[in-house]
Structure 1
Amino acid sequence: MVRDDSPLIVTLRLDQQSFVRFNSERERHFPPSRNLVPAHLTMFHHLPGDHCSEIAGQLASVAGRTGPLKLSIPSLRFLGNGVAYNVSGSELIDVREMIARRWSAHLTPQDAQAFRPHVTIQNKVPADAAKALYRRLSEAFKPFDVTGTALQLWRYRGGPWEAAGEFGFEG
């Protein structure tokens, strides 16, 4: 058996309609050379790859007793060099906390800090371009709801992510 310690990423899959909306905006506003993955909500950026089966087991267990997550998109977020949609939902915070507690000794500083869920639709652009998009989107923005439907596990290998598992909410 070959040991694979490539970092693991955990994301939240959104309902199809919301995913299509966010992904089409990402395709329009993200620099094409840097847009290597579809629109996503990252829950963890770097979990230990050599614990993949244990992490997958926990994700399956959590998803099996959790129903679809009702979430809201209350506002936009200016990122300095990009724009994101803020995501709000206490159930999402609870699910992430359950996973974080189990892997707390392995969390990177980025994953150990306060969780501020969002979906990035633009990044790595000049600040003036990001400010212009933020202003334009803010003028027409109205809060809306989305649904989280699954936990997704990915391997990071330096470019596009490699799927390592998906765990639908069943509870």
Structure 2
Amino acid sequence: MQPAPHIITLELHPEAMAFFNQLRREYYPANRVKAHLTLFYRLPADADRLVTSLEAITARSPFTMQVSGLQPYPNGLAYTVISPELLALHQLLQQEWAPWLIPRDRQPLRPHITIMNNVTAFKAQRIHEKLQADFRPFEVTANGISSWRYRRGPWEPVGEYPFRNEL
């Protein structure tokens, strides 16, 4: 059996994670994966430079990002995130990991946090309208990066790489 691929996500401040996880439990209860902002969807399990790269970039400081709106999808809903620093970090990792990237991971990052997916279009629209009525942009803090193994169900944690403020 081939080892499971890596998924790389951005870790948010615990208060932000609690907010997004609560929404996810309420509107996407069948899903067993917690709220997340995916940076890379599929990296090989044996990518030796993966851990070295993650450890090297975590010397940076945590940074603030803007949650700018709600993004409806035909069968889901996500919060959109704006951060020039996040886009620069993603591009740096794309360059570092270029030999291993699948086409989806070679594309520019469109940061978002999905709170609902695989529901009816009616339900997605109804929840979008409900949440949009009270939405005001807000800030969240990026605290680090996590690596996971995808095993066709709940993700298995591999490593956490908190930003250490050493720059």
TM class by shorter chain equals over 0.9
Aligned with residue 45 of structure 1, among 38, 41, 59:
41
Amino acid of the residue matched to residue 8 of structure 2?
V
SS of residue in 2 equivalent to 1:75:
strand
Amino acid of the residue matched to residue 34 of structure 2?
P
- Counterpart in the other structure of 1:147: 141
| Deviation for aligned residue 1:108 | 1.2
| Deviation for aligned residue 1:4 | 6.0
Contact 1:31-1:123 within 8 A present in 2 as well:
no
Amino acid of the residue matched to residue 95 of structure 2?
R
Aligned residues: 165
Q: Matched residues in 2 for 1:115 and 1:37: separation?
A: 21
Higher helix share: 1
Residue 23 (structure 1) aligned with residue 33 (structure 2): no
- Counterpart in the other structure of 1:165: 159
Amino acid of the residue matched to residue 55 of structure 2?
A
- Counterpart in the other structure of 2:51: 56
| Deviation for aligned residue 1:31 | 4.2
Identity rate, percent:
36
Aligned with residue 73 of structure 1, among 67, 74, 81:
67
Q: Matched residues in 1 for 2:70 and 2:4: separation?
A: 32
* TM-score (norm. length: structure 2): 0.95
- Structure 2: give runs of 5+ residues left out of the alignment: none
Higher strand share: 2
For residues 10-62 of structure 1, the C-alpha deviation after alignment (integer angstroms, 9 at most, x for no partner) is: 00110011000000000000141xx12100000000011111x4201101100
- Counterpart in the other structure of 1:97: 91
| Deviation for aligned residue 1:112 | 1.3
- Structure 1: give runs of 5+ residues left out of the alignment: none
